[in-house]
Amino acid sequence: MRLRPLRLDDEAAFVVAHRAMEADGFSFGLGYTPGMPWPSYLDALDAYRRGVDLPAGWVPATFLVADVGGEIVGRTSIRHELNEFLAREGGHIGYGVVAQAPLLDRLTGRSGFVSGTGSLLFPASSKPRGQNDGVTRS
């Protein structure tokens, strides 16, 4: 598994993942509105990472997808700082795993939706990314 930023050629796979998780009440694409121009969404994610034009209540964060063999199987949001709510409820790392990811089913032997604030799938690869963006222990 590799964590990486979204690319221009990820739009179709991203939309499938977003719709699948939206059906379970989870927003896969933070700040994404169906139908918005894909380059605009990628620009918004870059701005969020830099702390620019953040929606009310948001903190700077790096959004990465989990890629296994070219398939998007999940995502993580590594928050660079915490507000009062996130310090109490969310923490520095949020994540979601796409329930319909066939590769994930084969790897884990199970299927189903997973989300959280700790990281079951991403701990080793999320930590260095966050440190590179100035995330420190609070």
Beta bridge partners of 68: 71
Q: For residue range 57-72, what is the model confidence (pLDDT) as tens digits?
A: 999 999 999 998 888 9
pTM to 2 decimal places? 0.73
First to last CA, the chain: 28
Q: For residue range 3-38, what is the model confidence (pLDDT) as tens digits?
A: 999 999 999 999 988 988 888 788 899 999 999 999
Which 3 state secondary structure label does DSSP give 8? helix
Domain ranges in the chain are 2-132
Q: In what order do the strands lie in the sheet with 61-68?
A: 2-4, 61-68, 71-79, 93-97, 114-116
